[in-house]
């Protein structure tokens, strides 16, 4: 059975993780623990209960804000004229051997669910992601993410009304 849990440096084997993207592998292996410890970002990992040290995928969330003018005109209505609160999906990756099996979608769903839960205690209007290329951007668009007005690879997902 698969589960998503917070990265634990004592349990999870970051060194064996390989998603095929050097920058994402490097982040998980060298920076995720430091960012977690310093309060910069949190990383959740997907593991199988039968092999809990093996990371099948991960995502990282961080606090953010976005300028109002990067949102689509319909999403700007009735908002204050200053940057709005957001969560940033800073990283999302699945181990290369599991690509195409729906694990990325499961990780994304969990990230959105966490952001929606966060809205009860802290203002969060959108979930923002900076896709590495058009392929990942297309993946996010499949799940309702919209292009910002400033960058085709920066997308956002409105998190609904309170």
Report the catalytic residues.
140
**Integer Cα distance of 54 and 48 in angstroms:** 7
Closest-CA residue to 67 (of 88, 54, 47, 81): 81
Long-range contacts of 99-106 (CB under 8 A, 24+ apart): 99/20, 103/2, 103/46, 103/56, 103/57, 104/57, 104/139, 105/143, 106/2, 106/4, 106/46, 106/57
Q: Which helix (H) or strand (E) holds 80?
A: none
**Integer Cα distance of 155 and 132 in angstroms:** 11
**Integer Cα distance of 97 and 133 in angstroms:** 20
Judged on CB neighbours under 10 Å (0-12, 13-18, 19+), 100 is: exposed
């Amino acid at each position: 059975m698969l589960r998503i849990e917070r990265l634990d440096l004592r349990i999870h084997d970051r060194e064996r993780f390989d998603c095929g993207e050097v920058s994402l592998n490097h982040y998980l292996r060298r920076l995720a623990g430091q960012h977690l410890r310093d309060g910069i970002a949190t990383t959740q990992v997907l593991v199988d209960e039968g092999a809990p040290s093996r990371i099948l995928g991960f995502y990282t969330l961080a606090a953010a804000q976005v300028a109002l003018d990067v949102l689509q005109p319909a999403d700007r209505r009735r908002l204050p004229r200053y940057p709005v609160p957001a969560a940033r999906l800073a990283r999302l990756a699945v181990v290369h051997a599991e690509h195409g099996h729906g694990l990325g979608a499961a990780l994304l769903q969990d990230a959105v669910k966490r952001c929606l839960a966060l809205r009860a205690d802290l203002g969060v209007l959108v979930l923002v992601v900076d896709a590495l290329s058009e392929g990942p951007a297309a993946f996010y668009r499949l799940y309702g993410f919209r292009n910002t007005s400033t960058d085709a690879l920066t997308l956002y997902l409105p998190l609904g009304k309170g």
